[in-house]
Amino acid sequence: MPSVPFKKILIANRGEIAVRVICACKDLGIQTVAVYSEADRYSSHVRFADQAICIGPAKSARSYLDIPSIISAAEITDVDAIHPGYGFLSENATFAEVCEASQIKFIGPRPEVIRLMGVKERARAFMRELGVPVLPGSPGVLTSPEEGLELAGKVGYPVILKASAGGGGRGMRVVNGPDELPSLFLQAQHEAGSAFSSPDVYLEKYIGAPRHIEFQILADEHGNVEILGERECSVQRRHQKLLEESPSPAVTDAQRAEISAVLRKAISQAGYTNAGTVEFLMDEAGNLYFIEVNARVQVEHPVTEFVTGIDIVKSQIRIAQGETLAEILPGPVEMRGHAIECRINAENPVTFVPAPGRITGFHLPGGVGVRVDTWAYTDCVIPPFYDSLIAKLITYGNDRGEAIRRMQRALSMFIVEGIHTSIPMQQRILADADFQAGRFDTNFIKRFMPGPK
Ligand code: ADP
């Protein structure tokens, strides 16, 4: 079937990712429609889109998560497709189904694939069957504390209880011994039920000092899959990423080739299409274990774009138009050089508490090897209703050392006045000798925090 180019795309998101999608559409000559809440009336995605429609009040449940409002906006503006960005409705299978039923192309995987990947213990079982290494743990949902005790006894403590429908680093409980398990099981179920509308939890082996490593995939609608290497995302606070890089200092060429080969097969057998990320944890011995699939574009996708030269968001749109990877990609996928991303959040750099407010002065860094993705500008107000990400600063170098030095240079020239940001914390991380040597795991950030280490 020949591909049909889109004429107009609605972006069902806000902030920097909405601006990022607008950039990709402009590069492809596609018209854009922004949707916005009353709190985002003066946001730059509204200004840069060709059309903009207010979809409701500040509360996301009544705007960015309100499927009928978004579909009405899409119908009024007569768009061909919807790009969901990340967060909000991006991994909502019902939304993808409603788009399909409304003859609007959803730029992402098919609804049934989103649904499978969204139930984390099902995705785990599925990947294990296809030969992807997974951490030892429960085969499915844990039905009782007794079942948990039996499994944990086999797997060995510590174990971690995780919400089936979890996300954003929430709903996890580490269990150090059998006496703790029954009460933590009930707590985890309760928290999962209130945060994710499903009380289901499962169990897996807890790794004390893991690295978080994830592989970027692109799959077209004709059965072709490409793996765009990995990203290292171990610099996290509260299980949320703060700084990412590609390639990972811990992954060997042989390991990358081995995991890529396994993933290529698994992703094509899953019928997965469009962009996605397969997340792994690396144990202290260097083994990689699957933890989950994110069926959408990730915040940290630009580091992969820098090292592969592939525009991931443009590729998503072209895949959704029906083009093949052979048509979309410039040639064989290769990783060259090194890229780092710092998430610039409006937050207290020590306690990480969000710090919304008005930006009174704003200066962006530039120069060779520097990219900034942002929606912020002088005098804009960071609303308290959404996540605190105001910009992503990405640097590229021929090697990791050059990328680090460029990041230090760029951070020192990134001026944000009027609110607190994560910049001082990122400067301390980049100056750390262990970070510079590539020696860190997900506990790394604790050394910069007040209190016991
Ligand atoms: P979410 O979907 O909420 O982001 P993930 O399953 O991706 O949850 O895990 C988020 C983070 O939590 C990981 O990057 C890691 O830091 C920590 N984590 C998750 N599972 C384990 C585990 N089995 N052992 C140790 N840490 C874990």
Q: What is the pLDDT of residues 20-47, one digit of tens each?
A: 999 999 999 999 999 999 999 999 999 9
**DSSP per position, 386-446:** S--EEEEEEEEESSHHHHHHHHHHHHHT-EEESS--SHHHHHHHHH-HHHHHT---TTGGG
Residue range 136-205 in CATH 3.30.1490.20: yes
Range name among 27-41, 98-112, 168-182 with the lowest pLDDT average: 168-182
pLDDT digits (tens, 9 = 90+) for 422-431: 999 999 999 9
Classified as helix, coil or strand, 229 is strand
Per-residue pLDDT band for 452 (boundaries 50, 70, 90) equals low
* CA–CA gap between residue 212 and residue 134 (Å, rounded): 14
Annotated active-site residue 296? The verdict is yes
CA of 169 from ligand 1 middle (Å) equals 7
Token readout for 96 is: 């993808």
Asked whether 441 lines ligand 1 (CB < 6 A), one says: no
Per-residue confidence (pLDDT) for residue 164, from 0 to 100: 93
Per-residue pLDDT band for 1 (boundaries 50, 70, 90) equals low
Pick 168 or 61 by higher pLDDT: 61
For the cut 80, the answer to whether the pLDDT of residue 87 exceeds it is: yes
pLDDT digits (tens, 9 = 90+) for 177-201: 999 999 999 999 999 999 888 999 9
pLDDT digits (tens, 9 = 90+) for 215-247: 999 999 999 999 999 999 999 998 899 999 999
Enter the CATH code of domain 211-448.
3.30.470.20
Nearest atom of ligand 1 to the alpha carbon of 163: 3
Tell me the percentage of the chain whose pLDDT exceeds 90.
93
**Interval 353-378 mean pLDDT:** 97
**Interval 358-379 mean pLDDT:** 98
For the cut 80, the answer to whether the pLDDT of residue 168 exceeds it is: no
Asked whether 281 lines ligand 1 (CB < 6 A), one says: yes
Asked whether 167 lines ligand 1 (CB < 6 A), one says: yes
Classified as helix, coil or strand, 77 is helix
* CA–CA gap between residue 286 and residue 289 (Å, rounded): 10
Average pLDDT of every residue of the chain: 96
Q: Residue 14 in contact with residue 36, Cβ under 8 Å?
A: yes
CA of 291 from ligand 1 middle (Å) equals 7
Per-residue confidence (pLDDT) for residue 155, from 0 to 100: 95
Domains of the chain: which residue ranges? 8-107, 136-205, 211-448
Residue 248 buriedness (CB in 10 A; 0-12 / 13-18 / 19+): buried
Per-residue confidence (pLDDT) for residue 170, from 0 to 100: 79
Residue of 306, 436, 415, 430 whose CA lies nearest to 370? 306
pTM: 0.96
What is the third-level CATH fold of 8-107?
A: Rossmann fold (3.40.50)
Per-residue confidence (pLDDT) for residue 167, from 0 to 100: 82
Classified as helix, coil or strand, 46 is helix
Question: Catalytic: which of 14, 20, 173, 296?
Answer: 296
